[in-house]
Amino acid sequence: MVSTTEPPIPTNYDRESELKAFDATKLGVKGLVDSGISQVPRIFIQTPENSQNPPNQAKTQFSFPVIDLHNVQKDPIRHKEVLEKVREAAETWGFFQVVSHGVSESVMEEMLEGVHGFFGQENEVTKQWYTRDLNRPFLYNSNFDLYGAPATNWRDTFNCIVAPMAPNPEDLPPPCRYTM
């Protein structure tokens, strides 16, 4: 569903109304896909005018940052180096891969099963968890910065703050309740 030439956005385009309509569905990007859309809505189109990082057409290979946490707790110098790598990766890429973090493979597999279980639910069930209320123990929405970013990202996200106080299991969706 990639288009190399996008039609120009008309001057009477009401982006805010389209954002509100998308948000009001509480179904996110998955809801758009499930509805069978054949064209990417304008709110997701990154135009050169609102791009902070124009694409470099010549560069096609990516090398994602990998942060190794081995011995980070035991060595203060290593700790400082890792923090600098995290800062740089977050500023440059916006994401990175973490290795040697101590989370077992089985726990990571359970988390993936929980994520798939959550997003695999019927839309009407998933919709009940959709919120922009940052005070809720479990947050599911599409684009935390939906109303502030120059372009909407093609993503749905859920998160949960588990420290310093873990949420009550009843405040979490059943597919990922106990793994989280």
- pLDDT per residue as tens digits for the range 28-65: 999 999 999 999 999 998 877 666 655 555 555 678 89
Q: Is residue 160 part of a domain?
A: yes
Number of separate domains in the chain: 1
Choice among 56-60, 126-130, 131-135, 175-179 with the minimum mean pLDDT: 56-60
Model confidence band, residue 11 (pLDDT cutoffs 50, 70, 90) = low
Mean pLDDT of the chain: 87
Q: Is residue 149 part of a domain?
A: yes
Q: Is residue 67 part of a domain?
A: no
Q: Is residue 134 part of a domain?
A: yes
Q: Is residue 172 part of a domain?
A: yes
Model confidence band, residue 150 (pLDDT cutoffs 50, 70, 90) = confident
Q: Is residue 153 part of a domain?
A: yes
pTM of the predicted model, to two decimals?
0.73
When pLDDT is averaged across residues 105-123 and rounded to a whole number, the result is: 94
Q: Is residue 30 part of a domain?
A: no
- For 60-88, the pLDDT digits (tens) are 567 889 999 999 999 999 999 999 999 99
Domain of residue 132 covers 104-179
Q: How far apart are the C-alpha atoms of 87 and 168, rounded to whole Å?
A: 32
When pLDDT is averaged across residues 153-177 and rounded to a whole number, the result is: 91
Choice among 3-12, 77-86, 140-149 with the minimum mean pLDDT: 3-12
Give the pLDDT confidence score for residue 59 in this predicted structure. Answer: 57
Give the pLDDT confidence score for residue 60 in this predicted structure. Answer: 59
Q: Is residue 136 part of a domain?
A: yes
